[in-house]
């Protein structure tokens, strides 16, 4: 596995891979890898021959400087996990390599007005800007994103279409710990007590699934049931528990079309997100979370 820090080096390796007839898959990350990240590489390997992963903690997407400062980093461990997962090349730029005197930013309008977009000003603009740059640097055939960050994944799919990036976006399911907690680099920051309480988020999604299976379609009733479960876990703050349409991410009063039910909840200083995609087409509801 090659580890490169410069864009020029990365381009040279990717160009050589392409010359050898290989297709290129790309998984962007902020590091502190877990099985969720590695499952994206697994997915990418199904579609492409040469696997590129980036590890870059992108300061401009952090609306909270304390969150940036506390973001966990362990590059040696990341390299070992990436190597084991079959990554061919890891791109680890420093901030100077990615941004010098940039004046250009990318936004995806309406798709970011709700959910996390409503609570993290500037966050998505930072994400789309760095992902656009990475797409131009890596020029992948396929890039894989996690359902866990559903607003990000759906918006990047739209961004790639709108800006004619010649890349296929794949959205891959959320990997969970055995007790249901969605894997996240931020989980490391939870105390044992906070981690236990945070299980309420995935439990609330399970409860929503049950309600939907029993025929309930009113968003307000479903999200109220989720809120009751999350409230009992004494969260520090709830940013949102919402139902939106897939893929325009506008609020829906009823879950009559393909929808996303999503929550963002703080335990201590740690903000956790989770979601479930609900498809009610044909009358029978299918939930993926």
Interacting residues toward ligand AMP by CB under 6 A: 29-30, 36-37, 39-40, 145-146, 148-149, 172, 174-175, 182-185
Q: How far is the CB of 62 from ligand AMP (least distance, A)?
A: 11
For residues 7 and 12, give the distance between their C-alpha atoms in angstroms, rounded to a whole number: 9
Nearer to ligand AMP, 128 or 145 (CB): 145
Q: How far is the CB of 221 from ligand AMP (least distance, A)?
A: 28
For residues 3 and 225, which CB has a smaller minimum distance to ligand AMP in the complex? 3
Do 117 and 109 contact (CB within 8 A), yes or no?
Answer: no
Which one, of 26, 22, 18, 81, lies nearest residue 54 by Cα? 26
d(CA 132, CA 60): 13
Range 11-50 burial, b when 16+ CB lie within 10 A, else e:
eebbeebeeeebebbbbbbbbbbbebbbbbbebbbeebeb
User: At closest approach, how far in Å is the CB of 219 from ligand AMP?
Assistant: 24
Least separation in angstroms between CB 67 and ligand AMP: 12
Query: How many whole angstroms separate alpha carbon 279 and alpha carbon 212?
Result: 10
Per-position b or e across 207-235, b if 16+ CB within 10 A of its CB: bbbebbeeebbebeebbebbbebbeebeb
Q: Give least dist CB 148 to ligand AMP, A.
A: 4
Q: What distance in Å separates the CA atoms of residue 28 and residue 44, rounded to the nearest whole number?
A: 12
Per the residue annotation, which of 5, 13, 34, 37 is the catalytic one?
Answer: 37
Nearer to ligand AMP, 29 or 129 (CB): 29
Task: Using the minimum distance from each CB to ligand AMP, give the nearer residue, 226 or 272.
Answer: 272
CA distance 236 to 152: 24
40 versus 98: smaller Cβ distance to ligand AMP: 40
By beta-carbon proximity to ligand AMP, the closer residue of 18 and 34 is 34
Give the Cα separation of 177 and 192 in Å (integer).
Answer: 14
- Residue (of 44, 51, 23, 58) closest to 145 by Cα position: 44
Is 123 an active-site residue? no
CA distances from 259 to 42, 145, 157, 171, 172 (A): 26, 18, 16, 15, 16
- The least CB distance from residue 134 to ligand AMP, in Å, is 12
Known catalytic residues?
37
């Amino acid at each position: 596995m090659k580890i490169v820090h410069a864009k020029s080096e990365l381009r040279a390796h990717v160009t050589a891979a392409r010359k050898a007839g290989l297709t290129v898959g790309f998984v962007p990350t902020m590091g502190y890898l877990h099985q969720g990240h590695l499952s994206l590489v697994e997915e990418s390997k199904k579609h492409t021959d040469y696997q590129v992963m980036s590890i870059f903690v992108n300061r401009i997407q952090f609306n909270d400087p304390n969150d940036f400062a506390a973001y966990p980093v362990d590059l040696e461990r990341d390299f070992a996990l990436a190597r084991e997962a079959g990554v061919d090349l890891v791109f680890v730029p420093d901030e100077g390599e990615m941004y010098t005197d940039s004046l250009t930013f990318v936004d995806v309008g309406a798709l970011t007005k709700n959910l996390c977009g409503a609570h993290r000003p500037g966050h998505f603009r930072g994400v789309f800007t760095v992902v656009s740059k990475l797409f131009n640097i890596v020029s992948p055939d396929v890039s894989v994103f996690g359902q866990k960050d559903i607003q990000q994944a759906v918006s990047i799919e739209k961004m790639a279409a709108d800006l004619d990036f010649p890349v296929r976006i794949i959205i891959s399911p959320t990997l969970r710990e055995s007790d249901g907690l969605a894997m996240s680099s931020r989980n490391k920051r939870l105390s044992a007590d906070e981690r236990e309480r945070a299980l309420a988020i995935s439990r609330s999604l399970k409860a929503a699934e049950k309600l939907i299976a029993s025929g309930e379609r009113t968003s307000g009733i479903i999200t109220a049931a989720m809120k009751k479960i999350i409230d009992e876990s004494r969260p520090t703050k709830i940013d949102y528990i919402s139902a939106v349409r897939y893929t325009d991410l506008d609020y829906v009063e009823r879950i009559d079309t393909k929808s996303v039910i999503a929550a963002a909840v703080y335990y201590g200083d740690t903000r956790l997100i989770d979601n479930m995609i609900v498809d009610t087409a044909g009358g029978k509801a299918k939930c993926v979370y």
